Structure formats: structure tokens, C-alpha cells
Amino acid sequence: MTPDVNLLVAAMRLDHPHHALAFNHLQEQLKLASQRPNQASIMLFGVVVAGFIRIVTNRRIFQLPSSLQQAIDFVETLLISPGVVFQGAGSDWSNFKDLSLKSDFKSDSATDVWIAACSLQWGQILHTFDRDFKKILPAEHLYLVSR
């Protein structure tokens, strides 16, 4: 499984309307991952981590944004958990291009298409609140967290 930006933001930010749901979902996934510590059960994509940090530290999004250190500590806590790995490399150009052409691509969904292409390339199931991924990913590669 790989979490989307919105799931990580909601899990970290106590003031997010879906904090409890996201936090509990992430905790369940971490528990499952700890049962298979020799396998990469949770994969954090570099593009997702960068987007997460960009959002939680942004003063235009949050009246009291998280500090950079708080955001980094959150990611570090995930990365020291058994079964969690960081995947800095993303999709390759051909995967991104092909998925862009097949999906209902809009310019503001470029990052989502990149995340989806990474998920497919690494055989991951993307966990997200964002229903727009239904236009991009096959159902077997998408887990929509219920609100």
C-alpha cells in the first residue's frame, strides 16, 4: 500500500476534519506492515512526501501550519516503523505519458497521474480520499478511504 498526500495530511493534522479516520486507517496499515517487517508493506513515494511537507507547512492552507521539523518528524516516525520504505525514484516517462493519455487528464491532475503511475510501476495499492483517482487507476490498485 502507498498513502496519498491527502491521507498523510489528514493523519498528521489534528485540525483536519478527517483526522481520526485517516490516523486510524494509517495505524491499521502500520500494524499490518509490522507483521511483515521483511517486506515493504507500506511504500512512501518521494513525490507524496514532498507534497505532504508542502501542504502541512503552508501558511495559506493552515492558519497555524506545522513546522518543517514537525513534518519531517512525522515522516521519520513512519520510516522507522517495520515494513515501511521510502521510494525516492518515481515512475518513468513512458508510464506517466501512457497513463496521462489513457486517463481523463486535466493539467491540475498531473501530480495525481504521476503518483498513480508510480503505484502501478511498483505494484502498490494507493490509499486515498481522492475519488478522482477512479478516473486514473484500475480498481484493483485503488483503495478509497471512506469518510
Percent of the chain's residues with pLDDT above 70: 93
Sheet holding 2-3, edge to edge: 2-3, 126-128, 142-144
- Per DSSP bridges, beta strands 42-45 and 84-87 are parallel
Q: Which domains does the chain have, with CATH numbers?
A: 2-144 (3.40.50.1010)
Segment 8-65, tens digit of pLDDT:
999 999 999 999 999 999 999 999 988 876 766 899 999 999 899 999 999 999 999 9
CA 10 to the chain's CA centroid: 11
Say yes or no to pLDDT of 91 above 70.
Answer: no
